[in-house]
Amino acid sequence: MTPFGVCVVGSFMKDLVVRVPRLPRRGETLHGTEFAEFLGGKGVNQAVAASRSGARTAMVGRLGADGYGQEFLALLAAEGIDAGRVTVAEGSGTGVGLPVVEPDGSNAIVIVPRANATLTAADIADAADRIAAARVVTVQLELAVETAIEALRIASAAGTTTILNPAPMRPTLPPDLVAYADILVPNAIEAEQLTGRTCDGDAAAEVAVALAAKFARRGCVLTLGERGSIVVDGGEPVWLPAHRVDTIDTVGAGDAFCGALAARLAAGDSLVDAARYANAAGALSTTIPGAVDGIPATAAISALLSNGPVADLVDD
pLDDT digits 0-9 by tens, 292-307 = 989 999 999 999 998 8
Residue 179 within any structural domain of the chain: yes
Residue 70 within any structural domain of the chain: yes
Residue 315 within any structural domain of the chain: no
Q: Minimal CA–CA distance to 116: which of 132, 138, 97?
A: 97
Active-site residue, from 123, 233, 255, 269: 255
Residue 264 within any structural domain of the chain: yes
Residue 316 within any structural domain of the chain: no
Burial of 248 (0-12, 13-18, 19+ CB in 10 A): middle
Residue 140 within any structural domain of the chain: yes
Which one-letter DSSP state was computed for residue 169?
A: P
Catalytic site includes residue 255: yes
What's the confidence (pLDDT) of residue 307? 82
What's the confidence (pLDDT) of residue 314? 37
What's the confidence (pLDDT) of residue 93? 96
Domain of 244 in residue numbering reads as 4-23+32-307
Binding positions for K(+) are 249, 251, 285, 288, 290
pLDDT less than 70: residues of the chain: 308-316
Binding positions for ATP are 187, 223-228, 254-255, 279
State the pTM of this model.
0.91
**Number of domain units in the chain:** 1
What's the confidence (pLDDT) of residue 310? 57
- 96 forms beta bridges with 14, 112
Instruction: Give the CATH number, domain containing residue 298.
Output: 3.40.1190.20
Lay out the sheet containing 57-64: strands in order across: 82-89, 57-64, 4-9, 134-139, 161-164, 183-184, 219-223, 229-232, 238-240
Residue 314 within any structural domain of the chain: no
Which one-letter DSSP state was computed for residue 187?
A: B
- 240 forms beta bridges with 229
